[in-house]
Amino acid sequence: MSFVEYGDTIKDGDTAIVFLGHESMFPVKVQHGTVTQTKYGVIRHSTDLIGKKYGSKVTCSKGGWVFILHPTPELWTMNLPHRTQILYSTDISIITMMLELKPGSIVCESGTGSGSLSHALIRTVAPTGHLYTVEFHQQRAEKAREEFREHGVEHLVTVTNQDVCKNGFGVSNIADAVFLDIPSPWEAIGHAKSALKAEGGRICSFSPCIEQVQRTCLAMEEYGFTEINTLEILLRVYNVRTISLQIPDLGKTAEDNSSSGFDSSNPSHQGSPCANLQQGTVQFKSGVPLREVVGHTGYLTFATKS
């Protein structure tokens, strides 16, 4: 099993996603002889998972059923164990595009955190690219190494435990892109420039506060970066609902009634289509935004090494 080389069959040792619904799913490590409890009953790994195809509909012990999905960076972002605040698909998608990443690209990242962005970067640069990711916290770095190994991508990533602001990324003049998600990114701009290739390399810095953005932009200018641009990506979700509205009674003027020969007092006109239309309701589909919307997450500052 690999996050970048998809297989058809569930095997012992795989990481799989148990899908109960769009708002309910979780990862599970498939192991012979193990069982997993769900609200629909027990899933027995030996008989219900191993040997089945990914995407299979599995019936649980209580009669309910779930789907077993192959893990992807998108699904992992939604289900990973949080060691830090993570980046979600809304920001990840614009980062991979604006950094101009493709298969074969070399990317430097700091910090690794929970590995949400890391998995997406690895999938983007595979099979010939490489990710150099730096994590200040030793336990988080060790956990990231373990996850990359379990997910079959350890050959595409190098995890380093050090302070990027003091020691840099450990590489020089080879990176196509650098990503910074640290409290003081302006202190690492010099090391980012050293890691990037001779010219044309791209850099991105993620910061939640505009004061951090201001200091980072000044540092980028100082080190000769150009095309400095800051974006904020906001996601607004709509629910599609059936709405019932009463048709407004616009009335008729006396002149309209007399000219059309319509007599509202005449009993023969009480059941006319016009009378029913004005007193009825109409149903239609409408997009309604959620009452609570996730607002600001962070600013993305991009620049180019000239």
Percentage of the residues of the chain whose pLDDT score is greater than 90: 75
State the chain's mean pLDDT as an integer: 90
* pLDDT confidence of residue 254: 54
Contact 159, 137 (CB under 8 A): no
List of domains in the chain: 9-71 (3.10.330.20), 75-230+300-305 (3.40.50.150)
* SS3 at position 124: helix
* pLDDT confidence of residue 265: 54
Location of structure tokens 């190994």: 149
Q: Is 5 annotated as a binding residue?
A: no
Average pLDDT rounded to a whole number, residues 251-276: 54
* pLDDT confidence of residue 230: 97
The predicted-structure confidence for 124-143, as pLDDT tens digits, reads as follows: 999 999 999 999 999 999 99
pTM comes to: 0.84
C-alpha angle 297-299-302 in degrees, rounded to nearest 5: 145
Buried b (16+ CB within 10 A) or exposed e, 12-38: bebbbbbbbeeeebebbebeeeeebeb
Average pLDDT rounded to a whole number, residues 45-62: 94
Q: Is 89 annotated as a binding residue?
A: no
Q: Is 48 annotated as a binding residue?
A: no
For residue 275, count other CB atoms closer than 10 A to its CB.
13
The predicted-structure confidence for 4-23, as pLDDT tens digits, reads as follows: 988 899 999 999 999 998 88
Average pLDDT rounded to a whole number, residues 221-227: 97
Cα–Cα distance for residue pair 122/120, rounded to 1 Å: 5
Q: Is 114 annotated as a binding residue?
A: yes
Location of structure tokens 């997993």: 36
* pLDDT confidence of residue 275: 45
Of 280, 281, 287, 202, the C-alpha closest to 241 is 287
Q: Is 116 annotated as a binding residue?
A: yes
